[in-house]
Amino acid sequence: MSTPATAEALPASPPAASRLRPHAWWRRLAALGESTPASVGVVIVLAWVALALLAPLIAPYPPNANDMAALAHTTPSRAHWLGTDQLGRDLFSRILWGARPVLIIAPLAVLGAAALGSLLGLVGGYYGRWIDLVITRACDIVLSFPVIILYMIILAHVGSSAWNIVGVLTLTKAPIIARIVRGMTLDLREREYVAAAKMRGESALYIMLVEILPNARGPLVVDMCLRTGYNVIIIGSLGFLGIGLPPPDPDWGGMVKDTYGMMMVWPHMALFPCAAISSLVVGFNLLAVGLRELGLRD
Amino acid sequence: MARFFAKHLLFLLFTLLVVSFLVFTLNEFSPGAVARKILGAYATQEQVDVLTKQMGLDRPVLVRYVEYLGGLASGDLGYSARFKLPVREVIFKHLANTVLLAAIAFACIVPLSTLLGVVAGMRESSRVDRVILMFSTVVASIPEFALGVFLASVFVVWLGWLPGTATLVAGGGWSVAAQLVLPVTVVVLFDSGYVVSMIRASMVEVMQRPYIRTAVLKGLPFRAVILRHALRNAMLTPITVIMLQINYLVAGVVVVETVFAYPGFGRMILEAALFKDIALIEAGALVAVFLAVLTNILGDIAYVLLDPRIRA
């Protein structure tokens, strides 16, 4: 989730994407090195992405294979670097495989929220009047609902699956993005270049997507980094509450849920997945802190 | 001021109405489902049909919704199938427990994060600022359950100083006060990370204002500049954020409550959701939204009180 993600994040701005030549992206990536938090964040996030991609090659065992012989000594050993869980499954392999669903669902939900939220914010901010009022009020209502309770109610009714989690995360995060984009649109729609586009007879959709949205990019990217981190926390928490991804495939939150009751005997079973999820979120949040710093310096 | 309150009160009622309708329709999506959920998987279809008729569940959703609203107005929240008690009793018992946790946590979060936020923000990019910023970023990045596991592994498993559960029943040689230490610490750490960064950002912005430079150039001691000129203005933006934390503390602490087996409001809703205890979910959702909108209004009021320009 380094800067190039903007290209995927805002597919609605083709000129901005094509204007930037490949080496411009490299310059931007290199610029991240100027901020210590940003570079640490990028390294952590990229490391997890690499581990998740290479899981089939690195993981010493299949994630759901039980090693009954290891149950006598579940603690870390040469055969099982991080030990095994209560069913004799290799923790290192499960943590590697567990990175995959998180790294797919969290960014996917952020992209969904960014698309939906940008659209709502643009329409509300651009047209104003009653459309704006309806959108703002609807967003307020969704935002006033304690997020985790909303998940519990919805997921308890429609059951839990990766797609449902993406859907719920998208719906509940979109209002925040909408608020940011709306605020910027209110300001940007008064600019000369918007007036010029109107004089040219461009359609409202063109003005919103091509003239206004690309200029709201900066704060959006920082916010999307933060949202990805929060999404990782929520996906983990849902797993921990037992309403996340269905077992038996490894899911960090679910791994903690199954084993934290045994902490007095085997603390490592809960500690390692906790360390994994914490480090990933720290990565995303450091990246956000760094991007904000870099943005302020310009 | 009267208009201000009337407008907010109207919005509160409107939100409650919309949310109650949404949750109601979501819960009662399929007419047979409610009776099936109450009777369980082993009841025959006949039994389900009889109960559906008895409870009047075969009538249109809208009619039943209006009836439900009538019940709410007279204080009847329904009957909890999970706890076999009137919903009102269940909710208030759990809510009281969570309010205890939330009140202690809030009393720690506000002074702690104000202190850290102001100290960090008064000299941007100083070493102290970097340390506090990193601390708050990292602490806010650790999910509550992971924070709970980390702290428990040190203070419960390794040192044995504190109990690992907080059931609020003094037992196993641990007092209720000792039981509260870990849940409160987890909530305070996780939440202050976020609040500190908000206060810091606001403080940084205020310190760049001309009136602060004037105060410094006038020769005022730095302490007086901070306390008398910067602090009040720096708290304007974060005060709404701080008020919103009440909302998180009461309704959003499900995870912490689950980690420490704390008999609170969030865990009650989780249980209700898993058990499909519809009356309890509906009432719980309403209470949660009521709290959410109320804290929003409190935030607005606090903002008005701090900013004399709006008060007029």
State residue A13's pLDDT score.
Answer: 41
Asked if A90 and A61 count as a contact pair (C-beta separation under 8 A), the reply is yes
What is the C-alpha separation between A67 and A81, in angstroms, rounded? Answer: 14
- A192-214 pLDDT, tens digit each: 888 888 888 888 888 888 888 88
How many Cβ pairs closer than 8 A exist between chain A and B?
136
Chain A CB within 8 Å of residue B293 CB: yes
Nearest beta carbon to residue A237 from set B144, B292, B296: B144
List alpha helices for A159-202, DSSP H.
162-188, 192-200
- Using CA atoms, how far residue A292 sits from A38, A218, A289, in Å, is 9, 9, 5
State residue A297's pLDDT score.
Answer: 54
What is the C-alpha separation between A181 and A183, in angstroms, rounded? Answer: 5
User: For residue B141, which residues of chain A lie inside 8 Å, CB to CB?
Assistant: 229, 233, 278, 281-282, 284-285
State residue A282's pLDDT score.
Answer: 93
- Using CA atoms, how far residue B142 sits from A15, A275, A279, in Å, is 38, 9, 8
DSSP SS3 for A83: coil
**Cross-chain residue pair A260–B145, CB shorter than 8 Å:** yes
What is the C-alpha separation between A14 and B124, in angstroms, rounded? Answer: 38
Chain B CB within 8 Å of residue A116 CB: no
Nearest beta carbon to residue B296 from set A137, A144, A256: A144
Read off the amino acid at residue B36.
R
* pLDDT band per the 50, 70, 90 thresholds, residue B1: low
State residue A4's pLDDT score.
Answer: 41
Q: Which residues of chain A have pLDDT under 50?
A: 1-18, 298
**Cross-chain residue pair A145–B145, CB shorter than 8 Å:** no
For the beta carbon of residue B308, count every other beta carbon within 10 angstroms: 9
Chain A CB within 8 Å of residue B137 CB: yes
Tokens at A249, concatenated: 């495939």
Mean pLDDT of B126-155: 90
Asked if A290 and A39 count as a contact pair (C-beta separation under 8 A), the reply is yes
State residue B87's pLDDT score.
Answer: 83
What is the C-alpha separation between A189 and A125, in angstroms, rounded? Answer: 8
Shortest CA gap A104–chain B (Å): 19
How does strand B85-86 pair with strand B79-80? antiparallel
Q: Which residue has the higher pLDDT, B296 or A91?
A: A91
Chain A CB within 8 Å of residue B274 CB: yes
Residue of B nearest to A292 (CA): B201
CA A255 to chain centroid? 20
Read off the amino acid at residue B284.
G
Work out the percent of chain B whose per-residue pLDDT is above 90: 15
Chain A CB within 8 Å of residue B146 CB: yes
Asked if A10 and A213 count as a contact pair (C-beta separation under 8 A), the reply is yes
Nearest beta carbon to residue A241 from set B138, B255, B296: B255
**Cross-chain residue pair A282–B144, CB shorter than 8 Å:** no
Q: Which residue in B245, B246, B255, B278 has the most chain A C-beta atoms within 10 A of its own C-beta, making it the best mutation to test that interface?
A: B255
Tokens at A189, concatenated: 């729609």
Asked if A154 and A163 count as a contact pair (C-beta separation under 8 A), the reply is no
Shortest CA gap B189–chain A (Å): 14
Nearest one of B161, B175, B179, B160 to B262, comparing CA atoms: B179
DSSP SS3 for A66: strand
Nearest one of B75, B144, B41, B38 to A234, comparing CA atoms: B144
Mean pLDDT of B263-281: 84
Nearest beta carbon to residue A263 from set B152, B248, B269: B152
For the beta carbon of residue B215, count every other beta carbon within 10 angstroms: 19
Work out the percent of chain B whose per-residue pLDDT is above 70: 93
Shortest CA gap B237–chain A (Å): 16
Chain A CB within 8 Å of residue B135 CB: no
Q: Which long-range contacts (CB under 8 A, 24 or more apart) does B41-50 make?
A: none
Shortest CA gap A29–chain B (Å): 22
Mean pLDDT of B153-174: 81
**Whole-structure pTM value:** 0.84
Token look-up 């009440």 returns B246
Q: Which residue in A136, A241, A258, A280 has the most chain B C-beta atoms within 10 A of its own C-beta, making it the best mutation to test that interface?
A: A241
* pLDDT band per the 50, 70, 90 thresholds, residue B198: confident
Asked if B97 and B289 count as a contact pair (C-beta separation under 8 A), the reply is no
For the beta carbon of residue B307, count every other beta carbon within 10 angstroms: 14
Asked if B169 and A280 count as a contact pair (C-beta separation under 8 A), the reply is no
Residue B60 CB partners (closer than 8 Å, separation 6+): none
Cα dihedral B249, B251, B255, B259 in deg (nearest 10): 70
State residue B37's pLDDT score.
Answer: 66
State residue B236's pLDDT score.
Answer: 79
DSSP assignment of chain B equals: -HHHHHHHHHHHHHHHHHHHHHHHHHHTSSHHHHHHHHH-TTS-HHHHHHHHHHTTTTS-HHHHHHHHHHHHHTT---EETTTTEEHHHHHHHHHHHHHHHHHHHHHHHHHHHHHHHHHHHHSTTSHHHHHHHHHHHHHHHS-HHHHHHHHHIIIIIIS--S-S---SS-BTTB-HHHHHHHHHHHHHHHHHHHHHHHHHHHHHHHHTSHHHHHHHHTT--HHHIIIIIIHHHHTHHHHHHHHHHHHHHHHSTHHHHHHTT---HHHHHHHHHHHT-HHHHHHHHHHHHHHHHHHHHHHHHHHHHH-HHHH-
**Cross-chain residue pair A149–B284, CB shorter than 8 Å:** yes
Token look-up 């030549």 returns A21
User: For residue B281, which residues of chain A lie inside 8 Å, CB to CB?
Assistant: 153, 156
User: For residue A260, which residues of chain B lie inside 8 Å, CB to CB?
Assistant: 145, 148-149, 152, 259
Q: Is the pLDDT of residue B26 over 80?
A: no
Mean pLDDT of chain B: 83
Shortest CA gap B149–chain A (Å): 7
Decide: residue B304, CB within 10 A, 0-12 exposed, 13-18 middle, 19+ buried.
Answer: middle
